Amino acid sequence: MIGRLNHVAIAVRDLAAASKVYRDTLGAEISGPEALPEHGVTVVFITLPNTKIELLEPLGADSPIARFLEKSPDGGIHHVCYEVDDILAARDRLVKSGARVLGSGEPKIGAHGKPVLFLHPKDFCGTLVELEQA
Ligand code: CO
């Protein structure tokens, strides 16, 4: 059911410092920072030949990654995003198999302008999984 790895998201406390690591130390091509207030993050996109990395910095008081960074002050992998051909069919299949979809269960428009859903980490090997309509 799942297709390509769309991106790996890494939560960071300092987006400028993390961008410098990826740009200067790792030699990656990175975007400028983009604030996404509706998601509570500021994001930098890193384009690799076969996938993307997203650096996420908390934006606003109730950012969904604030608690993650309290537990992991150095930052860390926050979620992985897999593409699916039909997000509603994927959701229905997962729910039928007993997996938990976070939030209302209805897809939201994600950072790339496409519908996304998040799945409970406890059902997926301790990893928060994002599904994105391909
Ligand atoms: Co994501």
Q: What would the 3-class secondary structure string for 30-60 be?
A: ECCCEEEHHHCEEEEEEECCCCEEEEEEECC
Give the distance (Å) from ligand 1 centre to CA of residue 82.
Answer: 9
| pLDDT, tens digit, 9 for 90 and up, residues 12-65 | 999 999 999 999 999 999 999 999 988 899 999 999 999 999 999 999 888 989
Closest CA to 134 of 9, 7, 39: 7
Average of pLDDT values for 126-134? 97
pLDDT digits (tens, 9 = 90+) for 81-98: 999 999 999 999 999 999
Q: In the structure, what pLDDT confidence band is assigned to residue 3 with cuts at 50, 70 and 90?
A: very high
- In the structure, ligand 1 is a single-atom ion and the residues with CB under 5 Å from it are 9, 81, 130
At which residue do the structure tokens 């428009």 appear? 109
Distance 97 CA to ligand 1 centre (A): 23
Residues that are catalytic:
130
- Output the CA 81–ligand 1 centroid distance in Å: 6
Whole-angstrom distance, CA of residue 36 vs CA of residue 59: 8
- Position 38 scores a pLDDT of 84
**pLDDT exceeding 90 applies to what percent of the chain?**
90
Question: How far is ligand 1, taken at its centre, from the CA of residue 54, in Å?
Answer: 7
How does residue 104 score in pLDDT terms, banded at 50, 70 and 90?
A: very high
- CA–centroid distance, 27 to ligand 1, in Å, is 22
Q: Which domains does the chain have, with CATH numbers?
A: 2-133 (3.10.180.10)
The per-residue pLDDT for 35 is 94
Res. 112 pLDDT band, cuts 50 70 90: confident
